[in-house]
Amino acid sequence: MTAKQIGVGIIGFGTVGRGTAASLVARGSEFAQLSGADVRVVAVSRRSPVAADELPGDAQYCADWRNVVASPDVQIIVETIGGTSIALEVVRAALAARKPVVTANKNLLAEHGDELFSLARRCDVLLAMEGAVAGSVPVLRALAESLSGDRILSLRGILNGTANYILTQMERERLPFEQALHEAQRAGLAEADPSFDIDGIDARDKLSILARLAFNGRVRPQQIPTRGIRAIAAVDFDYARRLSSTVRLVASAELHDGEYDLAVQPWLVRCESKLASVEGAENAVIITGERAGTHMLHGYGAGGLPTGVAVASDVLAIARRLASGTLRFQSVAGFDAAPELKLSNQPQAVPWYLRLTVRDRPGIVARVADALARHEMNIDAIVQEPGMSRERLSFVVTVEPALATSVAAALGEINRMDFMVEPVVLLRAEGW
Q: What positions carry a catalytic annotation?
A: 206
Binding-site string for a second copy from residue 62 to residue 101, where x marks contact by CB under 8 A and - marks none: ----------------------------------------
Tell me: does residue 343 bind a second copy (CB under 8 A). no
Site string for a second copy, 284-323 (x = CB under 8 A): -----xxxxxxxxxxxx----xx-xxxxxxxxxx--xx--
Backbone angles phi, psi at 427, to 5 degrees: -120, 140
* Closer residue to a second copy in complex, CB, 4/359: 4
**Least distance in angstroms from the C-beta of 359 to a second copy:** 42
- Produce one character per residue of 276-310: b if its CB has 16 or more CB atoms within 10 Å, e if not: bebbebbbbbbbbbeeeeeeebbbbbbbbbbbbbb
Nearest alpha carbon to residue 60 among 31, 76, 40: 40
- Shortest CA distance to 17 belongs to which of 107, 100, 77, 97? 77
Instruction: Rule CB under 8 A: say whether 57 interacts with a second copy.
Output: no
Contact 334, 212 (CB under 8 A): yes
Nearest distance from residue 321's CB to a second copy, in Å?
8
Residue from 2, 51, 58, 149 touching a second copy (CB under 8 A): that is: 149
Pairwise CA distance, residues 423 & 412, whole Å: 9
Spatial contact of 46 and 65, defined as CB atoms under 8 Å apart: no
The amino acid sitting at 229 is I
- Pick from 12, 17, 100, 138 the residue near a second copy by CB under 8 A: 138
How many of the chain's residues bind a second copy (CB under 8 A)? 63
- Give least dist CB 275 to a second copy, A: 13
- Residues with Cβ within 8 Å of residue 97, at least 6 apart in sequence: 69, 70
Pick one of 26, 55, 349, 369: the residue that binds a second copy (CB under 8 A). 26
Radius of gyration of the chain (CA): 24
Beta strands in 162-272 (DSSP E): 245-256, 259-270
Is 117 exposed, middle or buried, given 0-12, 13-18 or 19+ CB atoms closer than 10 A?
A: buried
Shortest gap between Cβ of 128 and a second copy (angstroms)?
10
Would you say 165 or 395 has its CB closer to a second copy? Answer: 165
Give the nearer residue to a second copy in terms of CB position, either 12 or 217: 217
Contacts to a second copy by CB under 8 A: 19, 22-24, 26-27, 30-31, 33-34, 36, 130, 135-138, 141-142, 145-151, 216, 277, 289-300, 305-306, 308-317, 320-321, 324-331, 333, 338
